[in-house]
Amino acid sequence: MLVDFNHGSGCVYGRDASEPEPLGARINGRIDAALEAEREGQRPRGYLGASRIGEPCARRLVYEVTHTPPDPGKDFEGRVLRIFAAGHVFEDLAIRWLRQAGFDLRTQTQAGGQFGFETAGGRIRGHVDGVIIGGPEIGLAWPVLWEHKALKASSWSDTAKKGVQLSKPVYFGQMQIYMAYMGLGSALFTALNKDTCELYHEHVSFDPAAAQALSDKAVDVLRAADAGDLLPRIATSPDFFLCRFCPFAVRCWEDRA
Ligand code: SF4
């Protein structure tokens, strides 16, 4: 005898239009609406964050720093906000594991705030995941900046294969800026595979030329924003892969003529 465990209409697949939305969709709709409302209630950043300076397209950074609305339907949806929140939980786990292994990882100042810096009158700021000031003998000279990312499996594998500079230039730039303004000579980049919990660690040296170029770019972005200008596009066609994923693509290319 076949048993149907789908109690109630909320669990029925292949529903017609007259049936109510499935239970999962109704619950997720509520969760996502709450997360999106929470995000809308937050004050937009009044500065250029160091985590964004490594973004390859400076024009996109001008849109971001001027709080230009994304194209319709391109703002962060609830699902993406859940991914961000999960990243913080994974980060807390990685912090705990490193500390259990004997690394003296500091994530808060004595006053309880995040370590960070600001420059250009507070218009460029960064908040770091942590600083390791001591630990087991593993061939690193302390202190080092600590930066953590939780990545999906394919992205994690690419990072582990190519290294952070090639695979994740935005994260590499973020670390260079942090090291430059916090006077740190190197960083430990930790990437957690969200599917398998594998950990990839990479020692990243301070690259003064790269940091200077990024700092110059940040100043260019702020100057353009102040002047009401846009910086040149990174590509000559909206088909460029970065443009295809850019939340400002319609706005950016509509005035091409
Ligand atoms: S659409 Fe392309 S060129 Fe325009 S801001 Fe986005 S990434 Fe830059």
> Cα of 122 to ligand 1 centre, how many Å?
26
- Mean pLDDT for the stretch of residues 67-74: 89
Q: Please give the mean pLDDT across all residues of the chain.
A: 91
Q: What is the pLDDT of residues 110-155, one digit of tens each?
A: 888 889 999 999 999 999 999 999 999 999 999 999 999 999 999 9
Residue nearest to atom 3 of ligand 1 (CA): 233
- Cα 132 to Cα 240: distance, rounded to the nearest angstrom: 39
Residue among 52, 59, 62 to mutate when testing ligand 1 (max atoms within 8 A of CB): 59
- Cα 126 to Cα 169: distance, rounded to the nearest angstrom: 17
CB 168 within 8 A of CB 202: no
Residue among 55, 57, 62, 236 to mutate when testing ligand 1 (max atoms within 8 A of CB): 57
**Domain residue ranges in the chain:** 48-254
Q: What is the pLDDT of residues 149-167, one digit of tens each?
A: 999 999 999 999 999 999 9
pTM metric for this prediction? 0.87
Degrees to nearest 5, angle at CA 177 with 174 and 181 = 140
**What fold does the segment set 48-254 form as a domain?**
Lambda Exonuclease; Chain A (3.90.320)
Is the pLDDT confidence value at 237 over 60?
Answer: yes
Convert 235-256 to b/e letters by CB count within 10 Å (16 or more is b).
Answer: beeeeeeebeebbbbebbeeee
